[in-house]
Amino acid sequence: MKIEVLPQGAAYWVGDGFPVRNMFPSNHLEPSKISPFLMLDYAGPLLFEPANQPRGVDQHPHRGFETVTIAYQGSVAHRDSGGNAGVIHPGDVQWMTAASGVVHEEKHDPDFTARGGMFEMVQLWVNLPKAHKMSPPKYQALTAADIPNVAVGSKSTLRVIAGEYAGANGAASTFTPMGVFNLRLAAGDEMTLNLNPAFNTTLFLLDGDVTVDKQSVQGEAKLAVLPGGTASVQLTATADSKILVLSGEVIDEPVAQHGPFVMNTREELVQAFKDYQEGRMGRL
């Protein structure tokens, strides 16, 4: 099996609270290999000192896709123009469907701001098919307790955020079939990761040292892109490893993207900017 291993792409700050390493699309990975996923930002790990004011990113719009924030360390507070608000803590996931349009802000929550600490999160952008791009927005706050755990290997666990694995159904509802799994593979453990061969599958190694079908992937922030048609892959950890498994059905439609909007045509992008400027995505 030929596995494509890629390092991070661009590194930058989102606002003043999210030190990001972008895993795609800035590394020029072919979009058809990762659809329905559009973007993966890895924020941290970074130690934040205590502060008086929450750091983060102020209000901004989205349309045509979903944002998924997975918390490993630290806490983020969210509020949006749909009236949704909440805080995600380590182990929690925030799944926000922007669809026809929302305005939201994301900042360190007040408690984390005051005490400081390590911050580490992943944010995904997940595409929506044309039929759902103008659906009503939706917000799913998934606590750690909501997300089922599956025992794998002898001392490792796989958390099913979305999709299904070994009879466990994920906590998130999705518009297209996919699997989003948080895998903690303990040193010395091995497992066969079973996959849907009709899906694209990418493994994101946050940190650790793992052999993927006899190919070594090690260190921080590495992508292992599996070839199409993969039904299973053998994983062996030589160090404790954190892996985010992204697997999904391809959305075979044109993608037109500019800034915070992901549509199918340029005309739809122009309309999105107009709708935002005229307040039709709501206000905070």
Q: Is residue 180 part of a domain?
A: yes
pLDDT tens for each residue of 110-141: 999 999 999 999 999 999 999 999 999 999 99
Q: Is residue 265 part of a domain?
A: no
Burial class of residue 194, CB neighbours in 10 A (0-12, 13-18, 19+): exposed
Q: Is residue 282 part of a domain?
A: no
The total number of structural domains in the chain stands at 1
Question: Which one-letter DSSP state was computed for residue 227?
Answer: P
Beta strands in 109-176 (DSSP E): 117-127, 138-142, 149-152, 156-162, 164-165, 168-169
Phi and psi torsions of 187, nearest 5°: -55, 130
Q: Is residue 277 part of a domain?
A: no
| Residue keyed to tokens 């590194």 | 11
Domain that holds residue 76: 4-248
Which pLDDT band, with edges at 50, 70 and 90, does 265 fall under? very high
Which pLDDT band, with edges at 50, 70 and 90, does 154 fall under? confident
Give the pLDDT score at 205. Answer: 98
Strand partners, 142: 93
Which pLDDT band, with edges at 50, 70 and 90, does 204 fall under? very high
Tokens read off for 246: 């992204």
Q: Is residue 284 part of a domain?
A: no
Q: Is residue 181 part of a domain?
A: yes
Give the pLDDT score at 124. Answer: 98
Question: Which one-letter DSSP state was computed for residue 267?
Answer: H
Residues 6 or more apart whose Cβ sits within 8 Å of residue 195: 179, 201, 226, 230, 231, 232, 233, 247
Task: Output the average pLDDT for the chain.
Answer: 96
Can you give the CATH number for the domain in which 237 is found?
Answer: 2.60.120.10
Residue range 167-187: average pLDDT? 98
Which pLDDT band, with edges at 50, 70 and 90, does 2 fall under? confident
Cα gap 218→221, rounded to integer Å? 9
Whole-structure pTM value:
0.96
| Residue 277, H or E segment | helix 266-277
pLDDT tens for each residue of 218-249: 999 999 999 999 999 999 999 999 999 999 99
